[in-house]
Every structure is written in C-alpha cells, then in structure tokens.
Amino acid sequence: MKHNLAQDLEQCALPSALEAMGERWSFLILRGALSGIRHFEEFQSTLGIARNILANRLARLVENGIMLRQPMQCDRRKVEYRLTEKGEDLAPAMIALRQWGEKWGCGPISCQVLADGRDRQPIRKMTIQAHDGRTLDLSDLVWLCVDEETPVADARSPETVKAA
C-alpha cells in the first residue's frame, strides 16, 4: 500500500508538541527554568511578563507535565517550579532553536556562550545525527513506514520544490 504523505503528516507529533508548549512566553519560561529559575517572582521579574500571563503559562506547563509545581521544603507556604524529565528533554530543541536564531540574526548577539561545564568549551552546533553519530543532511533522511520508505526530499510537493 502506498502511503499518502499528507495523511502520514496528520499523525505527526509536532503540532501536539507545539500545542503543549503554548507560545513565546512558554518557551521563555522554559529557558528560565533550564537556567535555574524556580520561583514565580523570579520568572516575573526576569522575563518582565505580566503576572496573569505567567500564572496561565506556568499552569499550562504543569498541566502538560513539562513542569512540576511543588511546595518548598523550607517554607511550605511558597512553591517552586521544576522541570520534569519531559521538560528537561526539551533542552536540545531549545538549544537548536537558539543556535538557529543566532545564525540567522533573529535577535541580538548574546555575550553568553553555552559551554560544557567540565572543560568550559563551547558546545557544538546541534545537528541531526545518525544512530552511529554521523551528522546527517536533509538529503540523507527518509520517512520509514512498515511497507515502504520515502526520501525526505521526494516528500515535498512539486510546488515546494519549484519554490525552493
């Protein structure tokens, strides 16, 4: 049976993942959490986000299992927000998005460089890698289905190929 790429893409996890994250503020909250911010007031003052929007986005991230809201050990009246394993797994995507933005001039150049904590050397550019660590280009990728494979480049419609 020949697969219809449009139908296969309807089952893609990307739209659901984007829905779980929300929008810009959710990504900035995640960036703050990845940098060690834990408290509502810290998120609010660091990001300059309105309190109602922050409360809404934090609740959504908790609801989607990306962050955990828990009472602080030292003062049970206060809460802290921590990334879950699911939230920590977003780090590579966040780093890749930042590197893309830096490459294509989507914002100011940052003086901060993300580095390996052990040897203080900058991390490598995020890449698509094969199971054996080889860096792959888009032309190296295929969509696999049980009964066939389709090269990623061939999966584009003729209109997309002409526009590229």
116 compared with 77, residue with greater pLDDT:
116
Structure tokens at 117: 């904590």
Q: Which amino acid is at 27?
A: F
Whether residue 25 contacts residue 47, with contact meaning beta carbons closer than 8 Å, is answered with yes
**pLDDT computed for residue 143 by the predictor:** 81
Q: Spell out the alpha helix ranges (H) of 11-124.
A: 14-21, 24-34, 40-47, 51-63, 85-88, 91-103
The secondary element (H helix, E strand) that includes residue 80 is strand 79-83
Condensed to tens digits (0 to 9), the pLDDT of residues 119-134 reads: 999 999 999 999 999 9
Question: Is residue 32 helix, strand or coil?
Answer: helix
Structure tokens at 62: 């908790």
**pLDDT computed for residue 155 by the predictor:** 56
Q: Whole-number mean pLDDT of the chain?
A: 85
Global pTM? 0.76
> How confident is the model over 4-29, as a mean pLDDT?
79
> How confident is the model over 4-20, as a mean pLDDT?
74
Condensed to tens digits (0 to 9), the pLDDT of residues 45-69 reads: 999 999 999 999 999 999 999 999 9
Q: Using alpha carbons only, how large is the chain's radius of gyration in Å?
A: 20
The secondary element (H helix, E strand) that includes residue 149 is strand 148-151
